[in-house]
Amino acid sequence: MTEETHRIAKLLARAGIASRREVERMIGDGRVAIDGKVLETPATIIADLKGVTVDGKPVGKPEPPRLFRFHKPPGLLTAERDFSGRPTIYSALRNALPQGTPRLMPIGRLDLATEGLLLMTNDGALKRAMELPSTGIPRTYRARAYGDISQSRLEDLIEGITIDGVQYGRIDANLERKTGRNQWIELSLTEGKNREVRRVLEHLGLEVSRLMRTAYGPFELTDLARGQAAEVKQKEVEYFRKQLMRVG
């Protein structure tokens, strides 16, 4: 039987080192080596991670894919570091996760002012699959907005909308409750383009004062407190991965 081989970037992503794109940058920066020899290309084909080091440290065997729900507070960047010194999600995660938790990567992003559910995983392949628009995983948000809007106008978003030349796909939007000119709106979409919800609502003449993601696929924020994290049961992760593979 022929031994199965993969590109090193894929194996390092599966091992939770970073996403494939980030691993490729690390290789370009000379941070990855095999048996002491610095790699020159991410296209290197290997069977396993034996002898592979990142920043001089050996890479361990890939752990099973794990998934965590994290309630991101507003005011945190979805990034590993910020050169201007602004706080990132990892500042809060250090206190929210138990010791021994592997390095985690965010699935998708929430902008600085947006709060709510941010899924974190140790598996680069799972991260990539869940972020791809082609998998059609719905993201659900609740927005508090000021201005005048009707349910019928929100329903027009089901056909998608173009704003400043950018095409946004189907959005299922519902007016939850209204007090004067303030209202809560629930929106479900599958693309998750940069600042999509804010841009669409602002295009409709609304001023967004609060935005929260409440669900990503079958995983919900529920009553998870701000700044807290909770691991998804392994059997739920495996079931979801199997469903995702069928879609892909």
| Residues carrying an active site annotation | 111
Residue with tokens 């609304």: 206
- Beta strand 115-121 with 207-216: parallel, antiparallel or unpaired? parallel
- Record the tokens describing residue 74, joined without a space: 């507003």
41 CB burial (10 A radius; 0-12, 13-18, 19+): exposed
130 CB burial (10 A radius; 0-12, 13-18, 19+): buried
The amino acid present at 152, given as its one-letter code, is S
* Contact assessment for residue 116 and residue 110, using Cβ atoms and an 8 Å cutoff: yes
H or E element at residue 43 = none
